[in-house]
Structure 1
Amino acid sequence: MKSVPGPNNRAMQAGFRWGGVPPVGCLRASVLLAAISVACGGPASETAPFDVVEATIPEMRAAMESGQLTSRQLVMEHLARIARYEWQLNAAVSINPNALAEAEALDAERAAGDVRGPLHGIPVALKDNIHTTHIPTTGGSLAFEGYLPPYEATLTTNLREAGAIIIAKAGLTEFANFMAGPPNQMPGNYNALTGYGLNPYDPRRDPREDRNDGRPALTTGGSSSGIGTAASFWSANVGTDTGGSIISPSNANMLVGIRPTIARVSRWGVAPVTLDHDMAGPMARTVTDAAIMLGAMEGTEPDPNDAATARCEAPPGRDYTPFLNAGGLEGARIGIPRAFYYEPVEVGGETIGGLNEEAAALMSEAIAVLEAAGAVVVDPAEIPSFVDPDPGANFNTWPLCIGGHQAKGSDEGCSVNFKYGMKRDFDAWLESLGPSAPVGTLTELREWNLAHRDAGSMKYEQSRYDISDEMDVEADRARNAADMAKDSLLSQMRGIDAVLEEYDLDAIFTPGSRGAALAARAQYPHIVVPFGFVPNAPTPPFPEGFDARPAPFGIGFTGAACSEPRLIELAYAFEQATLRRVPPESFP
């Protein structure tokens, strides 16, 4: 096993000594100091203040085009917000120390008449499993603290060539939440390097016994973080999604999230769980911003490092804004898959799914919006694999093997693809890093974590690493192929494809983040749009006197492979008909 120095680099830079436990507070202080240091790293701006809170990318661009704003000032304003509020939210893993210098260079390009595109001079953040060679890429792991990979992710290159400034690396659940599952489930947005992220719509910690370990009282969603975008720390961010980790945190932070068709955006340079389902996508405060981000992330030509990028053709000029049509719902055929998503269904003698009263009322209101906007609402439009009474043929009774209880010999009733893919693709990714990688295999990472347990490397153990590492890429290939075939049957042929074809639909319409799992298993696109709030009433309940603030709750559109242009049109029309996003009130 390779020797790796103790995880103390950033803590020491911040003026703290490594003391045998993870210096989460020190690390957070380091991010704050970095933001302050970068923001104070040059002369004051001479232009009038520009309010970045809830500002859209087109508004920022227009202000720069008119001379009201420079990119440098825009970056300064965002850094100031990070410096002011990061201690309450823990949204960032690291800050780009060269952000102001990059902004000044882009300002000079603009002054010379060279504008790269709609993101020219706009600050964005990337999930910290996406390679950047000028900012560390850590996956939230102590073993990777301070690590600079030898090559940049293709999507990072595309964004930078489009003029975006990568201002920060956003927090995440450690290595995209495939480290610790049952029986010690890692909470969303926890990682050993920086601790827990908190939701700006209720930035308090869970007070319940056995859960008061620092985790948020209001979930932040999946393994990507929408925290900083929701709080206007940056204009938008890029998340990654294997089974819902763009859609769930977007829903939880009142954002628009787009999980694209598999490989529409190159996966090269993104630390994987399984390339059969991993996808990067934008998270933003508006559909317009998400559409601009998606176009900038996508390549004009297939990526030679990711052959599957030939699957979907990019729109002309990588521009999705022509699909921002406020009348896009007129005549659209939208299906309402009642079973499981809206109403409980019985499968094999067990009742599953359905909505509580508050969510059901919200979705009834949302369906009325579709009808008022001229959509043809097909209700119900049931998904065949959701209504099949045979547990062996029902999508919702065919889970993924993602817990310690689903090791070899106990995994007959679940799909092995995630744990198999993690072994196959994570090891291949580590190999691509060459000798600079702090560990060479998943086995070595597990051993490193065990050796550094006292330093906090595995607060929730590593059951998912364990069940992945026991997979044999060659010997288990046939089992994975069989499970993938069943996944495709239930999610595509008897899933999304079947319901779209039977009812001649443009999309299906689902509550909150619930549509994420089906779309991810099918490798198809899904968009979530903010719509309202529901009570945050977990089981077991919060203690008496804890006044939990409501949780954001959106709606989702799912379509066929490569249907992002049509889904963006539908999502934009719905957004414009409702305009329900509100900023978190605690972060003005």
Structure 2
Amino acid sequence: MARTTPATHRRTRRAGASLAVAAALAAGAAASAVPATSSAPPRPPALGGLDLDTAGLTEVSAALAEGRTTSARLVRAYLLRIDALNSRGPALNAVRSVSTGAAAQARALDRERRTSGPRGPLHGVPVLLKDNIDVAGLPTTAGSVALAGSTPDRDAFVTAQLEAAGAIVLGKTNLTEFANFMTTGMPGGYSSLGGQVLNPYDTSDSPSGSSAGSGSAAAAGLAAATVGTETSGSILSPARANSVVGIKPTVGLVSRSGIVPISATQDTAGPMTRSVADAAALLTGMTGVDPEDPATAASAPYAGTDYTAALSTDALEGARLGYVPVTSEVPSAADQVYLDALDVLREQGAELVEVEVGGTSAPSILTYEFERDLDAYFSRLPDGPVRSLEDVIAYDEAHPQEALKFGQRLLEASAAVDLSDPATAAAYEAARVQGLEETRAAIDSALRRLDDDPSDDLDAVVSASRTTGVGARAGYPSVIVPAGYTRDVGRDPVGLVFLGSAWEEAELIGLASDFEEAADAWAPPTVVNPAAFRCTAVDRSSTYEASCPP
């Protein structure tokens, strides 16, 4: 049985990782020191030794539990950090809106902590939600100018679950418009309402989509943790690009009611955080059976699971893992990071078996499901000017300068589908069933779950994101963990994906946390890309202060 490690101990190692990676990245680089003559920019308030540049949910929760800070001070500090990095400095544009009620919520949770103790590890912890997730009283826009005033009168189920666990919803993150189902050829992280999200590790690189804002905000420490959503790669891909941990749960583990949808078959929300421990704690607070989302009925045996109990430093010992091989004759810089990650798995005692993970020949079902599911979402909202996909398309056509920089091809394609036509409905259902059956069989056969001999079974499949599509179509879980940075000029983040079968989140978390601890690979963007953070309130060095712009 895997030995678990307390989160507070694990993150002590993580802090060392930042220093180790910083030294490695700085090796061989020399710069002329410029005397400081101007005054330093404003600094966030002291937080009892808590450093938001490297801290995540785990450290924040520990600092609150130990009385070193308060939720009210944390909210103020994160809002200052959002002002310094999201609106100024590198202007990441990762956060679209902040909640005016967060400060009052923090004070109330501080009082509750003093009088009756914490509800759990999320008590008083500020988090950001992707702006396709309903929070009562805050607009849910999906990045669309057509939805700028679309304000729900009740929380999404997952929002309510997080708040019941004590989390503070600090605000909403930007995203690729309509979770990247607006059109083709649109940059990751762009929306007509929110503009362009930037990647803190390299502002010239894509933050990837569609949970670009959640990935960028988590990486830059604009909240203790963030929530993203995925239909096909929208958690895993921005998690890789922004060097954060992402969990794409089994479809049905986390409710989708109150979330602007693409596909009832494939949609899910999931954590995007700075460590596996953080993601496990956040996922624990997100689950639950929701009568409004029938897919959650199958998750009943797993609702309420404490996923932090799965954290381990020896889960890889004796594990059998399938791995997707590098196929190019000359490995790229990213391939080399992946190959190094495989070596870490072996060093931790895992047996690696080369596997092929197939896919499906079934056509995509997203165009079939989008209008049906979007109109169902609108039906739960108060009356407003936009009540259907047709309304969105009409608004965009009436405001082309604001709304249609890249067009709306996917919206129009879905609006053209008529599921009331028997032939269309039959084609859709055939594609849905075939896609599920073939992708699940592809993953389960790679894991050898279908063999009679259990000694041949694999515990998970690992890849450098090459299993993203098949896992999404199957509705199966994946966890991505930062594996390192390319050693070429870009220092681009690379992630290692752990893919499993349905409801195997706990097993994947154990394997991923063991790898994270052993690889010791993560560094904050201020270390990997220091130029973007100079002359901001989070820059603790005065070396270049005299050269800061006015």
TM-score range, shorter chain: 0.7 to 0.9
Of 255, 258, 261, which residue of structure 2 is paired with 1:266? 255
Matched, 1:240 2:238: no
Residue in 2 that maps onto 1:534: 486
Residue in 2 that maps onto 1:351: none
Of 326, 343, 347, which residue of structure 1 is paired with 2:327? 343
Residue in 2 that maps onto 1:377: 352
Contact 1:189 1:196 in 2 (8 A): yes
> Residues 77-116 of structure 1 correspond to what in structure 2 (within 5 A)?
77-87=77-87, 88-116=91-119
Residue in 1 that maps onto 2:383: 435
Residue in 2 that maps onto 1:62: 62
In 2, Cα distance between the equivalents of 1:564 and 1:507?
A: 11
Residue in 2 that maps onto 1:485: 433
Contact 1:64 1:70 in 2 (8 A): yes
Secondary structure of 1:137's match?
coil
In 2, Cα distance between the equivalents of 1:53 and 1:47?
A: 12
Q: Which amino acid aligns with 2:113?
A: R
> Residues 220-239 of structure 1 correspond to what in structure 2 (within 5 A)?
220-225=207-212, 226-239=215-228
Contact 1:298 1:314 in 2 (8 A): no
Matched, 1:450 2:402: no
Secondary structure of 1:318's match?
coil
Secondary structure of 1:364's match?
helix
Structure 1 unmatched ranges of 5 or more: 1-39, 204-216, 345-353, 386-393, 399-413, 537-547
In 2, Cα distance between the equivalents of 1:582 and 1:47?
A: 21
Q: Kindly tell me: are residues 159 and 244 of structure 1, through their superposed partners in 2, closer, same or farther at Cα, counting changes over 3 Å?
A: same
Matched, 1:122 2:125: yes
Q: Which amino acid aligns with 2:257?
A: W
Q: Which amino acid aligns with 1:458?
A: L
Alignment TM-score, normalising by the size of structure 2: 0.83
Q: Kindly tell me: are residues 357 and 45 of structure 1, through their superposed partners in 2, closer, same or farther at Cα, counting changes over 3 Å?
A: closer
Q: Kindly tell me: are residues 50 and 446 of structure 1, through their superposed partners in 2, closer, same or farther at Cα, counting changes over 3 Å?
A: same
Residue in 1 that maps onto 2:193: 193
Identity of aligned residues (%): 40
Of 177, 182, 187, which residue of structure 2 is paired with 1:179? 182
Residue in 2 that maps onto 1:51: 51
Residue in 1 that maps onto 2:37: none
Kindly state the Cα deviation for residue 254 of structure 1 after the two structures are TM-superposed.
0.4
Aligned pair count reads: 474
Residue in 2 that maps onto 1:137: 140
Contact 1:52 1:74 in 2 (8 A): no
> Residues 231-310 of structure 1 correspond to what in structure 2 (within 5 A)?
231-299=220-288, 302-310=289-297
Matched, 1:514 2:455: no
RMSD (Å) for aligned C-alpha atoms = 2.0
Residue in 2 that maps onto 1:571: 512
In 2, Cα distance between the equivalents of 1:314 and 1:518?
A: 25
Of 554, 565, 577, which residue of structure 1 is paired with 2:495? 554
Alignment TM-score, normalising by the size of structure 1: 0.78
Contact 2:139 2:152 in 1 (8 A): yes
Residue in 1 that maps onto 2:444: 497
User: Larger relative CO (CA 8 A, sep 6+): 1 or 2?
Assistant: 2
Contact 2:256 2:269 in 1 (8 A): yes
- Cα displacement string for residues 29-68 of structure 1 (whole angstroms, at most 9, x for unaligned residues): xxxxxxxxxxx9xxx9797563222213232222222221
In 1, Cα distance between the equivalents of 2:280 and 2:383?
A: 38
Kindly state the Cα deviation for residue 202 of structure 1 after the two structures are TM-superposed.
1.3
In 2, Cα distance between the equivalents of 1:314 and 1:191?
A: 38
Secondary structure of 1:557's match?
strand
In 2, Cα distance between the equivalents of 1:48 and 1:224?
A: 32
In 2, Cα distance between the equivalents of 1:464 and 1:328?
A: 43
Q: Which amino acid aligns with 1:510?
A: S
Structure 2 unmatched ranges of 5 or more: 1-41, 539-550
- Cα displacement string for residues 480-520 of structure 1 (whole angstroms, at most 9, x for unaligned residues): 11112231243111x10111115411110101x33211110
